[in-house]
Amino acid sequence: MSFPGEDEVLDVLEKVSRSVVNISTVRLVHAMFYQVVPVRGVGSGTIIDSKGYILTNNHVIRGARRISVALWNGDVFEGEVIGSCSLHDIAVVKVDRDGLPAAELGDSDRLRVGQRVYAIGNPFGLAGGPTVTSGVISALNRTIEAEAGFLLENLVQTDAAINPGNSGGPLVDVKGRVVAISTAIVPFAQGIGFAIPINIAKRCSAEIIDGKMPSRPWIGIIGLSLTEGVARQYNLPPVDGVLVTRVVEGGPAYRAGIEAGDIVLKLDGVRIKNIEGLLREIHKRKIGDRVHLDILKMGVERSLEVTLSEMP
């Protein structure tokens, strides 16, 4: 016996699954003895325009020499990368096909903790088609460290299982509206997954398609908001700021002499209360701008000049 509304939800999920594609890539990597070896990768994507534009993760297509896109009905097309935004792990792929079933995009600003969502992916392509897992939104505005030494911010956290190969697929609400794009899972964390809010993805994809994707300034540190709990744990003074946990070698902060264990207090005179505040101030500026950071280094307050560079 079905629960009230279950059939309607299943119909919606069946419909939106037709907008989810499989993305297969081939990268060339250098192995031992200077051999070049092709390595295959797999991910998912979401059709956002009937003219063949597909939204996926930057990490799914990064470095790919060849991209194949498989639709729900088994049709396979060669994909072309239109552009990407590493800051938000977003990329747009185009296939030469009109009349594709585009997904309806929702409004991630209206998301609420506890809201029911479904993660859809197409990791198996021709071998199996789309998969669906269910869960709830367990938190909003999360920040995690990404592979390249920078942060992915303002993420949606969910307990809906984001299985391997589901990256780039949609997180949808009970009405089938895409509210986020799945991007990452945290190993050994009971299936906690993260997704990029669709409002961020919409903005990035529009800039990419219009050819107006701006470069982003970068400082090159990984940090923690210095809360009372973090201060007690690390035996640090109870001040507002960002505790530097890692400095990217060769980056702007590294060149300026910032080290792990330093505490960022101010940027150009603006007091920094948390990691989100630091990122917000950096993103207000341009590549090449010189900023003054007030930091606490081994208990001594110092002022350093940092030249922002382009995010790698």
> Between β-strands 270-271 and 263-267, what pairing exists: parallel, antiparallel or unpaired?
antiparallel
Q: Which residue stretches of the chain are H helix?
A: 6-17, 58-61, 198-209, 228-233, 252-256, 275-283
Q: Which residue stretches of 135-292 are H helix?
A: 198-209, 228-233, 252-256, 275-283
Dmax of the chain from CA atoms?
A: 68
DSSP-assigned letter for residue 234: T
Catalytic residue among 68, 167, 182, 309: 167
State how far the alpha carbon of 294 is from the alpha carbons of 258, 291, 299, in Å: 11, 10, 12
The helices-and-strands tally (H runs, E runs) of the chain is: 6, 21
Indicate if 268 belongs to the active site. no
- C-alpha neighbours within 13 Å on the C-beta side of residue 252: 24
C-alpha–C-alpha distance, residues 195 and 172, integer Å: 11
DSSP-assigned letter for residue 96: S
Q: How far is CA 218 from the centre of its chain?
A: 16
Burial group, residue 128, by CB count within 10 angstroms (0-12, 13-18, 19+): exposed
Catalytic residue among 17, 44, 89, 262: 89
Indicate if 283 belongs to the active site. no
Residues designated catalytic = 59, 89, 167
